[in-house]
A and B are shown apart, each in its own frame.
Chain A
């Protein structure tokens, strides 16, 4: 696949969490608002891109039977970097994302891409793959966060966007709303894909 194809596959064909069913925990938990969703997406993209890069550079030197442990160490280091950076320069976002910032390290997307792609491909395609999937993930988080914020709060980026007598569906901001929302979006994506094919 060409470099641009590696990049764009993360934006539709293999977009997490909709087509590539990974990273669901983070998607459900942080998408209580569009802003939090984008913040989480950026943090995850940072970790994904740099860990893909480093793992791809080291792929010939990591022994096969300790590779998962090695990947986890590399990924965890970048997560700690991201954590410390957010604590220093984006503290409100850090508080909003809570426990899910350290949980980026077990985000199946990052370990999944490391195992399936970065450990088997050269540096530039791995970089493109990481960037594409990271940006795709950020877009998905924005979409889910936006929908949940609009229906559950009546605002988007804290700007009221619904009619004034709109009573927000508080359940959208809670776990049931999250699961239902994601399930329905997945069904919609299935519908769009089948229309494209047939």
Chain B
């Protein structure tokens, strides 16, 4: 039990997927200007990442390893993720339209998000079993969501602040993320 708790804390805070491992920057900077966009994106990321990691773990365990095809990991994973997102989008559109309304526009964006492929590869690299992979992918994507929502809150507030003209836009966004990353550095060593 403590194993999983440690895994959760480590993945959300100590090794935060965006603030410590640099994964998932493009949508991070793009979707962090309004809080409702950010919440939608965060939920979509958790949704896609957990399913993608489950699928890629199964592919690795039952397809790549037994046939000695690990070198095809990259191409296999990205195809699985792309196909999965496509099917999920179609399924949601038909059967759970409310969820599709909430998450729909972010799903194609997430396919090429380095966070999804990154978390999938990290889970496999760390040699987690299936349950640990699910916990890890859930925790990592929740960490991403938390960082995204905090950043959006800050950017919304500072939208009316007098920012020097050359720092406006992406520049001040990056500096804000940097300060957030500095704050999260304080978690280092928490999970041993």
Tell me the A residues contacting B by CB distance below 8 Å. 21-22, 24-25, 28-29, 68-69, 72-73, 76-77, 79-80, 83-84, 99, 102-103, 105-108, 111, 171, 174-180, 182-184, 186-188, 190-191, 194
A176 and B178 contact, CB distance less than 8 A: yes
Q: How far is the CA of A105 from the CA of B82 in the complex (A)?
A: 12
B179 interface residue (CB < 8 Å to A): yes
Q: How far is the CA of A179 from the CA of B72 in the complex (A)?
A: 32
A179 and B73 contact, CB distance less than 8 A: no
**Which residues from chain B contact A174 at a C-beta distance below 8 Å?**
181, 185
**Which residues from chain B contact A83 at a C-beta distance below 8 Å?**
71, 74
Q: How far is the CA of A111 from the CA of B175 in the complex (A)?
A: 26
Q: Which of B74, B83, B111, B167 is most buried by chain A, counting CB atoms within 10 A of its CB? A: B74
Given contacts A174-B185, A178-B22, A188-B166, 20 further A-B contacts (CB under 8 A): A24-B25, A25-B24, A25-B25, A69-B79, A69-B83, A69-B86, A72-B79, A76-B79, A80-B72, A80-B75, A83-B74, A99-B125, A102-B117, A105-B74, A106-B78, A106-B114, A107-B114, A171-B182, A179-B175, A190-B166
Q: How far is the CA of A69 from the CA of B71 in the complex (A)?
A: 20
**Which residues from chain B contact A72 at a C-beta distance below 8 Å?**
78-79, 82, 112
Q: Which of A25, A68, A73, A174 is most buried by chain B, counting CB atoms within 10 A of its CB? A: A25
B174 and A183 contact, CB distance less than 8 A: yes
Tell me the B residues contacting A by CB distance below 8 Å. 19-26, 29, 71-75, 78-79, 82-83, 86, 108, 111-114, 117-118, 121-122, 125, 164-167, 170-175, 177-179, 181-182, 185
**Which residues from chain A contact B25 at a C-beta distance below 8 Å?**
24-25, 28
Q: How far is the CA of A29 from the CA of B79 in the complex (A)?
A: 24
Minimum CB–CB distance from B51 to chain A (whole Å) comes to: 17
Q: How far is the CA of A103 from the CA of B24 in the complex (A)?
A: 11
A76 and B171 contact, CB distance less than 8 A: no
A77 and B170 contact, CB distance less than 8 A: no
Q: Which of A84, A111, A175 is most buried by chain B, counting CB atoms within 10 A of its CB? A: A175
**Which residues from chain B contact A103 at a C-beta distance below 8 Å?**
23, 114, 117-118, 121
Q: How far is the CA of A69 from the CA of B85 in the complex (A)?
A: 11
* Closest Cβ neighbor of A29 among chain B residues: B22
Minimum CB–CB distance from A119 to chain B (whole Å) comes to: 15
**Which residues from chain B contact A108 at a C-beta distance below 8 Å?**
26, 112
Q: How far is the CA of A152 from the CA of B22 in the complex (A)?
A: 18
**Which residues from chain A contact B20 at a C-beta distance below 8 Å?**
175
With A103-B114, A184-B175 in contact, do A175 and B74 touch (Cβ < 8 Å)?
no
With A25-B114, A177-B178, A179-B174 in contact, do A84 and B75 touch (Cβ < 8 Å)?
no
Minimum CB–CB distance from A69 to chain B (whole Å) comes to: 6
Question: Which one, A24, A25, A77, A180, contacts B75 given CB within 8 A?
Answer: A77
